[in-house]
Structure 1
Amino acid sequence: MRLLHGATALLVLAAWLSGLFVYSRYDGRWGRLPFTPAGDWIDIHGLIGVGLLVLALPFVAYAFSLGRARLRRATNSLTLVALALAMGSGKLMQEDWLEDGQLHHLVYGLHLLGWLLIGLAVLVHVGDSLRLGGWPLLNSMVSTSLRPGDLPGDWPQQVRRFWKRGR
């Protein structure tokens, strides 16, 4: 789970930052960055979104099975809702809307809302983690050392044990 959580967190950060570059370059109604790095940020953002979708599916499956108790914390639920809104609206967008200056689409507005919510949700999520476990918890989250049970090959057995307990 830590591996999946960490990879998802890195892709959420990459998607959020690339989305900031896309917004700054093509929209910027509420401000632009003083510079936007060169690159085809719409394609980069979309590629990160596809990678995030691949990781988000098992992450959400975990959240609604083994991690169900953790969803009672509003910060965890808010983060998943923001992720779903950002990804769902992103998949509904047309790539050429922003390049053509079509900023009026409802789906684009929802995607911007999802982008804002995911940024807020991650900040609140990290703040809640600091409140609950302090720096030791955050350090354990960013630790790259693997512990027994961290590898994807261990997950099926963990799921079987969960269902046998009757949860």
Structure 2
Amino acid sequence: MSRTVPYQPVLLRLLHSAIALLVFGSLITGFMVYDRYDKRFGTLNLPIIRDTQGIHGTIALAFLCLLPLFAIYCFHIGDRRLIQKESFKQLQEVGKPIWWISLQRFANSLLLVSATFAVITGRMMQEEWLPTGEFNHVWYIGHLIGWLLMFVSVAIHLLMSAKVGGLPLLLSIYNWKIRPEDMPKFWLRGFKLKPSTTFLFFFEAVVIGGIAIAFILPLIFTSPQ
């Protein structure tokens, strides 16, 4: 496969960089919270940092607020990077370039699904559960699964991106060289009001609907369920 440095639109670079920082911050602080209170599935006995839960919650809230914008970009501008209807058929082309590209699209799509699940379960967590040893709440168990899905999704995303485009693709998202087409007036160029396919329409409905649920559920359920 080609290893030429691809061009990434500046809006994608901004959103992706911010999302990446928040994802890694959420993963790290999320594990620190688990490692401080739970430890049922193993522990690193990390040093205790004051108000780890608060730090994790703040980062996660920032991630939740930015996630809708990133999802809209993915579905309405960068949809070619997501799973397509024909991607399932292309998975039969084992070992060919299109097979790896399809796997990369699956990985990108899995990240959106994992992020949606993580924010829904995280929003329904109660701060007093872990300090008081209440580790069996459904939402907490779900959030642990969400953390694991995010970790696996990020790993697969990086591996597939490295396979498809190598180091140039991985670094291209952090290349801050500016072109004339990077000016803000061009940021929404190529924006499609509707997703390009019916398949992506329903996929977007699941993701955006899930993010909306993450905002709404805590307003409806104010006590542990």
Q: Matched residue pairs, number? A: 163
Residue 77 of structure 2 corresponds to which residue in structure 1?
A: 66
Distance 2:152 2:170 in 1: 18
- Structure 2 residue matching 1:163: 3-state secondary structure: coil
- Structure 1 residue matching 2:66: 3-state secondary structure: helix
Q: 1:62 to 1:106 in 2, by over 3 A?
A: same
One-letter identity of the residue aligned with 1:130: A
Asked if structure 2 preserves the Cα contact closer than 8 Å seen for 1:11 and 1:48, the reply is yes
Which runs of 5 or more structure 1 residues have no equivalent in the other structure? none
Distance 1:64 1:6 in 2: 18
Please state if 1:115 is matched with 2:141: no
C-alpha displacement of 1:155: 2.8
Distance 1:114 1:152 in 2: 35
C-alpha displacement of 1:150: 4.8
C-alpha displacement of 1:163: 3.2
Please state if 1:142 is matched with 2:174: yes
Distance 1:93 1:151 in 2: 41
Please give the residue correspondences for 1:71-150 in structure 2 after superposition, counting only pairs within 5 Å. Answer: 71-72=82-83, 73-150=105-182
Greater Cα offset, 144-153 or 104-113: 144-153
Please give the residue correspondences for 1:18-33 in structure 2 after superposition, counting only pairs within 5 Å. Answer: 18-33=29-44
C-alpha displacement of 1:74: 0.7
Asked if structure 2 preserves the Cα contact closer than 8 Å seen for 1:3 and 1:151, the reply is no
* Alignment equivalent of 1:15, drawn from 22, 26, 39: 26
One-letter identity of the residue aligned with 2:109: S
Which runs of 5 or more structure 2 residues have no equivalent in the other structure? 1-11, 84-104, 197-225
Distance 1:93 1:3 in 2: 30
RMSD of aligned alpha carbons: 2.0
Higher RCO (CA < 8 A, seq sep 6+): 2
TM-score of the superposed pair, with normalisation by structure 1: 0.89
C-alpha displacement of 1:70: 1.5
- 1:36-76 CA-to-partner distances (Å, cap 9, x unmatched) read 34221100000001110121110011112112221111101
Asked if structure 1 preserves the Cα contact closer than 8 Å seen for 2:36 and 2:48, the reply is no
Which structure dedicates a bigger proportion of its chain to helix? Answer: 1
